[in-house]
Structure 1
Amino acid sequence: MFQDLDATLMAMLSASAAPSEVRAADVSFDTPDKAFNPTQTTLDLFLYDVQENRELRDQAPLVDRTDDGFVTRHRPLRVDCTYLVTAWSTQSAGLKAAEEHRLLGLVLLWLSRFEVVDEPFLRGDLTMPPQLYKLPVSVAQMKEGQGMGQFWTALGVPPRPAFSLTVTIGLLPFDEAVHEPAAKTIEIKPARSDAPTLCGRVLDTTLAPLPGTPVTVVENGAATTADRLGNFTFKDLAFGSYTLLVRIAGRPDLRTPVQYTARSQIHDVIVPAP
């Protein structure tokens, strides 16, 4: 995944519209430590920080319509990938600093043109499947409280001119999809606040009614039998927490806890398949 982002950034830097000096420079993604010693003019993009962007987190599932229902999927994880961009010259003395500064300025201006990564630049897994969201680009925006002094100290090299480049990509931690059938019928059940009843239907997993099924309120022993449409009703119950007990011959007892209130009077019971 990250290697595909590297390839995407390389495509951006080698685009025909990019400054000629940027296109001519070699592009590296190595760590700029003591061992880093390029033999030609080089732009180095070192990926040093990967964090979830919590501001962009969205827990709501993705729902896509199909011919026979819906498909529900997890949303991608939004991840900030931050690079340290440096320029490296093979010149000496003042010429070295001049070339590095010029090249660094040119690439900074070029990358700052992009609010998001244009689709033609995307490579590898960033294209298949297509990214759900555009990939935002942030240039020269250090995170609050983040300094580079300790960074260069850890690498054991003198500090040098650099800027940060952050691209936010979407990653799919879960690839499974849940297929849900489309609703074929909609049933509206009325409930009255002045004459409340604890009611519902006894259904199997296909939502077909189970007529003649005995239903009992465990807390007070009130019992009834589901009618031909699977309906059951209990009157004269105080609002509160109850347990509905359903007994079907040859199957384990099914106990369903319900919270019976003026706004929650209807409680269907789904009987698992044997």
Structure 2
Amino acid sequence: MIDQLDILLRKLITSSVAGFASDDQVRFQPPDDDWRTYVKTLSVGGQPANALNLYLVDLRENRKLRSNEKVRSVQNGDVSETPAPRRLDCHYLISAWSPADVTPAIEPTLDEHAALYLVAATLSQSDPLVATAIYAPGPVPPTFPPDFATAELPIALVPPEGFIKLAEFWGTMGEKHRWKPVVYLIVTIPILPVGRLVGPVVTTSFTEILATDAPGSGEALLQIGGTVFDTQAPPQPVPGAWVELLTMAGVRLQLVNTDATGRFTFIRLAAGPYQLRASRAGLGVFTRNVTLPSPTGEYDLQL
């Protein structure tokens, strides 16, 4: 995910910041002696070119955005439970570099400062970062997970406290290092969780009621559940559908609505034959005969 954020930032800069149209001008390696050598030899279209270094200097969990909620989904009869994603703050130090040497007529620092301003202006106008918007009208790279491609990624741009270890940072980048101003950028991304398989959907449960002093007085009651689907490929759950439980003679016994996941439940039923009827405006009516308890435990309906 972090590498995809790198790609997204590079795309934003190369498509929006004047003078940095080449991917070769936006790199993520440490701004050390090797980087300085790279800048000196960089050319675009046969001409020397300025460069931007986006160095990921730190990672921190954003605990203010942590949630303990879990989302359950049903697919192919199995229930998956996915925790809400945690959030990761990615701290970048963005520095601008010119390959030109200082002479009485050339002051490359001015070019570097101009580049920093353009980067800050572009980022300030792109908050939050959204991959589909940055790549529009073209598609996002196929390696981007769908949840990342459409996510709104908030940013903190040059926060007032700054990067407090900036002097220490530049001190580790080589003996001939020089202090450079940076655009300090923090991008918050989700840590996309992996769904945990909880188990198959329970469609039938049994309750037996009896008097302790009368062994032959037992009565078994059933609770059944199913899902109403439409006829799309693949079928999708239908929320808000009416589902009736009828006798074989067509007498209504119970009437319920499907929930947001298309599920319905009927309770306190005796074993035997019944009819299930589902309906919803625009989707028609579907009736199915069932015998309780079903040997397969399946009571789904399709409109």
With structure 2 as the length reference, what TM-score do the two structures score? 0.56
Aligned partners of 2:60 and 2:90 also within 8 Å: yes
Does 2:73 align with 1:74? no
What residue number does 1:140 align with?
A: 158
What residue number does 2:9 align with?
A: 9
TM-align CA RMSD: 3.4
Deviation string, structure 1 residues 42-95 (Cα, Å, up to 9, x no partner) = 011011111111011111102346697964312222111111100010112152
Percent of aligned pairs with the same residue? 24
Aligned partners of 2:93 and 2:184 also within 8 Å: yes
Q: Name the CA distance, whole Å, in 2 between partners of 1:77 and 1:125.
A: 21
SS in 2 for 1:155: coil
Aligned partners of 1:139 and 1:166 also within 8 Å: yes
What residue number does 1:238 align with?
A: none
Q: Name the CA distance, whole Å, in 2 between partners of 1:85 and 1:144.
A: 13
Please show how residues 254-265 of structure 1 align to structure 2 within 5 Å. Answer: none
Cα shift at 1:207: 3.0
Does 2:54 align with 1:42? no
Segments of 5+ residues of structure 2 without an aligned counterpart are 43-49, 135-139, 222-303
Pick closer, same or farther for the CA change 1:131–1:22 going to 2, 3 Å: closer
Q: Which has the higher contact order (CA 8 A, sep 6+)?
A: 1
SS in 2 for 1:21: coil
Pick closer, same or farther for the CA change 1:86–1:209 going to 2, 3 Å: same
Cα shift at 1:125: 4.7
Cα shift at 1:174: 2.8
Pick closer, same or farther for the CA change 1:213–1:164 going to 2, 3 Å: farther
What residue number does 1:114 align with?
A: 126
Q: Identify which range, 21-30 or 164-173, moves more after superposition.
A: 21-30
Please show how residues 163-202 of structure 1 align to structure 2 within 5 Å. Answer: 163-178=183-198, 181=201
Q: Name the CA distance, whole Å, in 2 between partners of 1:178 and 1:143.
A: 45
1:209 alignment partner, one of 179, 185, 207: 207
What residue number does 1:187 align with?
A: none
What residue number does 1:228 align with?
A: 218
What residue number does 1:198 align with?
A: none
Amino acid at match of 1:151: F
Q: Name the CA distance, whole Å, in 1 between partners of 2:80 and 2:211.
A: 33
With structure 1 as the length reference, what TM-score do the two structures score? 0.61
What residue number does 2:69 align with?
A: 60
Q: Name the CA distance, whole Å, in 2 between partners of 1:88 and 1:108.
A: 15
What residue number does 1:266 align with?
A: none
Does 2:149 align with 1:149? no
Name the structure where strand makes up a greater proportion of residues. 2
Cα shift at 1:34: 2.3
Aligned partners of 1:115 and 1:136 also within 8 Å: yes
1:51 alignment partner, one of 34, 47, 60: 60
Aligned partners of 1:5 and 1:123 also within 8 Å: no
Does 2:151 align with 1:161? no
Q: Name the CA distance, whole Å, in 2 between partners of 1:118 and 1:111.
A: 12
Cα shift at 1:119: 2.9
